[in-house]
Copies of this chain bind each other. A is one copy, B any other.
């Protein structure tokens, strides 16, 4: 019924499969047995479709962030949970992450939005790390500048893990999720005050 929604769903599916370069509005319309004219009645410009999809991702991300703020306990299990949910989002909207630079160059507004989102995410992670230090979960013998650096590392890996997978492994959903999670697990290990306590569980 909701034609706009159906267009977005079809676009997401096709973009995820083939990328934004090969998929045109004609392809999306054909996939829905819809005329190109009709599609462009709902989305005047192709970029409007990409923009709308990005906004859906941003909303989902923010929801995740709010949930995180409300969580009471923060330990390594919570972090692993978080990385699983992060994968879910990144995978669902993978065309964005696989073509992020191109998309941002093409639609600068998305870049602005992403920067704002990154700032919010950074604040949240900084808070989490503070708690993990107070907690005794994290080491205290490293210089404090290590924490913003870790945040940056985490973001780069989170945003581009899938791209790397596309270049090397090409693991599919299930295996990819496990590998993604393991990567994050391993990123936190060296920061734990007592790594040997946990290391057996998930390695």
User: Which residues from chain B contact A190 at a C-beta distance below 8 Å?
Assistant: 139, 142, 146, 190-191
Q: Is the CB of B153 within 8 A of A100?
A: no
Taken residue by residue from 161 to 189, chain A's Cβ proximity to chain B (1 for < 8 Å, 0 otherwise) reads as: 10110111000000000000011001101
Q: Is the CB of A163 within 8 A of B19?
A: no
User: Which residues from chain B contact A101 at a C-beta distance below 8 Å?
Assistant: 19, 98-99, 163, 166-167
Interface residues of A in 19-33 (CB under 8 A from B): 19, 21
Interface of A: prevailing SS: helix
Bound complex: CA A152 to CA B106 (Å): 30
Contacts A100-B163, A159-B164, A160-B163 given; indicate if A143 touches B183 (C-beta within 8 A): no
User: In this assembly, does A105 line the interface, its C-beta being within 8 Å of a C-beta of chain B?
Assistant: yes
Q: Is the CB of B195 within 8 A of A141?
A: yes
Taken residue by residue from 29 to 64, chain A's Cβ proximity to chain B (1 for < 8 Å, 0 otherwise) reads as: 000000000000000000000000000000000000
User: In this assembly, does A156 line the interface, its C-beta being within 8 Å of a C-beta of chain B?
Assistant: yes
Partner of A186, one of B21, B153, B195: B153
Bound complex: CA A34 to CA B146 (Å): 51
Which 3 residue pairs of A and B lie closest in terms of their CB atoms, listed nearest first?
A: A149-B186, A160-B160, A190-B190
- Give 30 CB contacts A-B under 8 Å: A19-B102, A19-B105, A99-B99, A100-B167, A101-B163, A101-B166, A102-B102, A105-B166, A114-B168, A115-B167, A115-B168, A118-B167, A139-B190, A141-B195, A141-B196, A143-B189, A143-B195, A145-B203, A146-B190, A149-B182, A149-B187, A150-B186, A152-B164, A152-B183, A153-B153, A153-B157, A153-B186, A153-B187, A159-B163, A159-B164
Question: 12 other contacts beyond A114-B168, A115-B168, with CB at 8 A cut-off?
Answer: A19-B102, A118-B168, A139-B190, A142-B190, A143-B199, A146-B189, A150-B186, A153-B186, A156-B161, A159-B163, A163-B163, A190-B190
